Amino acid sequence: MTALDLSSPVAVVGTGTMGQGIAQVALVAGHPVRLHDTVPGRAREAADAIGARLDRLVEKGRLTAAARDAARGRLEPAGSLSGLAGCALVVEAVVERLEVKQELFRALEDVVDDDCLLATNTSSLSVTAVGGALRVPGRFVGLHFFNPAPLLPLVEVVSGFATDVSSATRAYETARAWGKTPVACADTPGFLVNRIARPFYAEAFAVYEAQGADPATIDAVLRESGGFRMGAFELTDLIGQDVNESVTRSVWRSFFRDARFSPSLAQRRLVESGRLGRKSGQGWYDYRDGAERPAPHTAEPARPPAYVVAEGGLGPAGALLGMAREAGIEVREEDEDKGTRLVLPGGGQLALADGRTSVEFRDVVYFDLALDYREATRIALSASQDTSPRTLAEATGLFQALGKKVSVIGDVPGMIVARTVARIIDLAHEAVAKGVATEEDVDTAMRLGVNYPLGPFSWDRQLGRDWAYALLDDLHLRDPCGRYAPSLALYRHAHAADRREDSPS
């Protein structure tokens, strides 16, 4: 099954920001496009707005004047649904209410031919439910574009329970012909991006609620150590706290209130107070005139240790050993398998976050995961009230000698980046195990949909087969609410290469 022919008319119903964006994508690709909106005159206004954006593309040299004029000639407002007769594809981008979408598609079935592809751009509703009342449900599919549609490359092509393979394939190939990067996805709450991305927000909020660190510090660690483009607090302020929380609640309810998708009480209070982010002037941060952005916690300079003793290597943080030597710090390596840690001159230990807490041990400082320890500009450390000041100072001085800013947070198991990445990896494995998507499509979706520095499976391979499982298992023991319980899929993945007994005993 191939993409729609460029001569085939495409219709978009709903002319808000997303509807206009989808229409522009189809129009620039070469299709005749018809716009419809239930509000009189709105379709004409949308056509004019699209024309103005085409003018700007010409000014920027991204579109020729001839191509713009041809596109304008293919764009037609439709005053009623009957004007969409003969279209080969109709994409809906109306309000996110199930009954509204169902009524629209039932009406469309009376207008378009039976071979017309019908698509919803819903981000939170079940594709199966939206198309469930149709006379020909097999031609119904989800085409979830990301805002702004003309700029962002990802499109989630979602197959409902009744969607024909031929319909999903045609939608996929059409999106690709439009210059987009489509990923195939089964109809699951949140689809791919909104399902797997929940821990990025949830774990940042959980660390804040546990008084482990303030928003500015958590955001800085996610950016400067984790390699994420934005921190969770600044990103949700940009998205809108009400919008982000609504998606979280929708996914949580759709998964029958699964603890792994639980909303944040702190975010709920923010929404209730009307602090919705940039659009209201206040969110986690203050955006009003004259307001200053709070700085992340950064430790004062400390003297680096003269040497460290490496016991068993540092696993994913092994690059630190070479970096320490380059900084003039002696590294004494012991062959004995005593774990993966550094022993400092004062006798204290430094270990990579593993889901346990500092308070459990005599004198331990944990450090957080980094995407790339050489490139990271900030590292978080955690210590308990019982950790000796000397150990914390030596750990701080060590990372400062490596050129890093240091943020000391509370004794939070799994810290910030480590617990976030482990949970993202877990949800990704579960999605693939349940047939939602392929590993390749999951990685593509998370890189292009939310700009993650690595896809979950690429990150998993870099960290090691059992890293995420071991961290979450330890976290679950310390916080057995169900939020951190590793999935069966992750358990199988972590133990797949282990030596097994011949039979249970």
Six-digit token pair at 259?
Answer: 């603890």
Q: How many CB atoms lie within 10 A of CB 352?
A: 22
Catalytic residue among 92, 109, 156, 311: 156
- Burial letters 225-248, b for 16+ CB under 10 A, else e: bbbbebbbbbbbbebbbbebbbbb
Check 167, 194, 250, 358 and give the catalytic one.
Answer: 194
**Is 194 assigned a catalytic role?**
yes
Q: Which of 241, 225, 183 is nearest to 233 (CA)?
A: 241
Compute the Cα dihedral for 466, 467, 468, 474 and give only its sign.
Answer: positive
Distance separating alpha carbons of residues 443 and 53, to the nearest angstrom: 32
**31 a catalytic residue:** no
Contact 118, 108 (CB under 8 A): yes
Residue-wise DSSP of 373-385? TTT-SEEEEE--T
CB atoms near residue 443 (< 10 Å): 21
Distance of CA 356 to the CA centre of its chain: 25
210, exposed or middle or buried, with CB in 10 Å at 0-12, 13-18, 19+? middle
Known catalytic residue at 234: no
- Residue 505 and residue 485: Cα distance in Å, rounded? 26
From the list 92, 121, 126, 144, the catalytic residue is 144
Catalytic residue among 123, 126, 225, 264, which? Answer: 123
DSSP 436: S
Element at 208 (helix H, strand E): helix 198-209
Q: How many CA atoms lie within 13 A of 204 on its CB side?
A: 25
Residues facing residue 224 across a β-bridge: none
Establish whether 224 is a catalytic residue: no
Active site residues: 123, 144, 156, 194
